[in-house]
Amino acid sequence: MIEVLATALVVVALVAAAWSLVLAVANRPITLATKPTLGLAGVVVLLEVGLLAQLVAGVVAAVGTDRELDTPTFIGYLVGVAVVLPLGAFWSLAERSRWGAGVLAVACLSVPVMVLRLNQLWAGHG
């Protein structure tokens, strides 16, 4: 696993989650028509690109390693963390209330948890 990428993903996910929570508290739905949510959309897209890079790098590392690794679980987490964010983003766009931002915050908060679990699996503690 690429530690720098994992750390960057956690930081960006926490920033996006905090931004989403601010919008939820301010009772602002997620739309692509306002500057605050357009900026958030950019952060979410950046995060997803990083997650896709982690997916590719993780699969290559898992296939090419001789260490003891629960490969199906590891790859499942790689795919899961890459899928949960777009699903949360689409759901948040469909939800026209403040809870759309809440949904996005939960999706963003799931990223650090899953990245931590990936690091645990890679280190052999899982």
Question: pLDDT tens, 9-24?
Answer: 999 999 999 999 999 9
d(CA 85, CA 100): 13
Task: Identify the residue with better confidence: 76 or 33.
Answer: 76
Question: How far, in Å, CA of 99 to CA of 118, rounded?
Answer: 29
According to the model, what pLDDT value does residue 96 have?
86
> In the chain, helix, strand, coil percent, each to 5?
80, 0, 20
Confidence check: pLDDT of 126 > 70: no
pTM: 0.92
* Backbone φ/ψ region at 93: left (φ over 0), alpha (ψ -120 to 50), beta: alpha
pLDDT of residue 78: 97
Mean pLDDT of 26-52: 90
User: So what's the pLDDT on residue 56?
Assistant: 97
